[in-house]
Amino acid sequence: MARPIVAIVGRPNVGKSTIFNRIIGERLAIVEDRPGVTRDRIYGTAEWNGKPFSIIDTGGIEIFDEDELLKQVRMQAELAVEEADVILFIADAKAGLTPADETIAQLLFRSNKPIVLGVNKMDNPASTDEIYEFYSLGLGDPVALSGTHGIGVGDLLDELVKRLPEKPEELYGEEVIKIALIGRPNVGKSSLVNALLGEERVIVSDIAGTTRDAIDTPFEKDGQQYVLIDTAGIRKRGKVYEATEKFSVMRSMQAIERADVALIVINGEEGIIEQDKHIAGYAHEAGRAAIFVVNKWDAVEKDDKTMQRFTESIRDHFLFMPYAPIVYVSATTKQRLHKLLPVVQNVAEQHSMRVPTNVLNDIVADAVAVNPPPTDKGRRLRINYITQVAVKPPTFILFVNDPELMHFSYERYLENRIRTAFPFEGTPVRFATKRKNDGE
């Protein structure tokens, strides 16, 4: 299911990113100890009181505009108003109420979106005088907080989750494979939808970002039911939106949350850019099955090594997703398009595969016999047993004598041994270590 979206808005230097990091915790600070995982995220996921949500830090969006400050904060506010379910407006107690704050408040007030006002840099809980002037913004009771020290963040989250929309009912049964087409604007997502369906269901344009909303299209092929979720590009209103392409990631996030399989569409003509890594990284972190779909392959000048070189480039850029298969297609000529859905069906099956506990334990026992865990300060990791606790993605718990002795390199070794027996093509796998006597 798609998570509701919270957008953090405010003028520069009020502490938006600090609060963003507080809310998501350390989960995205270092995604994995693997090279190639992009870390400069402006979006994340969080949960409070059992309510999950996605959160976006508008301060992380690079806006290349030489005009005055108010124009920049206005752009950020407009983007947040358009895309988010709940808005978190951050002001700065030390700077006091500014004209920029008032401009943002006016924009937000007209949006009719739920708004939580947080007044940051209230580092001394005993001193609350600075907060009173912010009542004049007309946005309700401000929440005093200090992002740096973590003061008041719980109160802020309490107010946020009160305003989150109710989780919608899932529209499709378990047997339906939900496919999200994700990628930056103008890689050919809508053309790919039309080619797969064999009819013009989605408006296609050469202008990047012309798809306005995520569009669900159910269809059936060879007895298998699918739903295509075509993610929208950013809504273009002049150069303001052209300058903020990163915001399109948020739409991709919503589609990924609902999907079983993410088709990461790459423009074969243009090659790989940093934005492709951002979008693919979120599919990986969300635990979705994934396939790289290189579109517009018909337009690429080729020799007998072109595909091999492009494949190597994908593997070099996406070192954190070695499990994802690559399919080369052309939505225009339908070249190799018939190969795509069989791959989708295969990775969806791998994504929901469950391995018997006795088989898992045999694999791990053999792996340990071949390559015992290294010692750490005279102590050696002892693995008691392993069990699979979830699918989509396959998730395993290793019960050990001391979780701190599990080094990421040894965990990766065990993953590789399991993948040798059960390839889990197209899907990430997750591991957790627990002390043998821990709870559950």
Residues contributing to the annotated binding site for GTP: 10-17, 57-61, 120-123, 183-190, 230-234, 295-298
Tell me the C-alpha distance between 429 and 397, whole Å: 11
Residue pointed to by tokens 């963040």:
153
Q: Which residues, other chains included, contact 437 with Cβ-Cβ below 8 Å and sequence gap of 6+? A: none
For 218-241, b/e burial (b = at least 16 CB within 10 A) is: ebeeeeeebbbbbbbbbbeeeebb
In angstroms, how far is the first alpha carbon of the chain from the final one?
Answer: 26
> How much of the chain is helix, strand and coil, in % rounded to 5?
35, 20, 40
Find, among 83, 71, 380, 123, the residue nearest to 240 by Cα. 71
Q: Residue 279: exposed, middle, or buried by beta-carbon count in 10 A (0-12, 13-18, 19+)?
A: buried
CB 8 within 8 A of CB 81: no
Dihedral sign computed on CA atoms, order 206, 209, 215, 217? positive
> Considering just the CA atoms, what is the radius of gyration of the chain in Å?
24
24-28-33 Cα angle (round to 5): 155
Q: What DSSP assignment string belongs to 134-201? A: GGGGSSSSPEE-BTTTTBTHHHHHHHHHHTSPPPPPP-S-TTSEEEEEE-STTSSHHHHHHHHHTS--
Tell me the C-alpha distance between 130 and 121, whole Å: 10
Tell me the C-alpha distance between 28 and 15, whole Å: 18
DSSP 13: T
Q: Which residues, other chains included, contact 19 with Cβ-Cβ below 8 Å and sequence gap of 6+? A: 8, 88, 90, 118, 120, 145, 147, 153, 156
CB 381 within 8 A of CB 406: yes
CB 246 within 8 A of CB 272: no
Annotated binding site: 10-17, 57-61, 120-123, 183-190, 230-234, 295-298
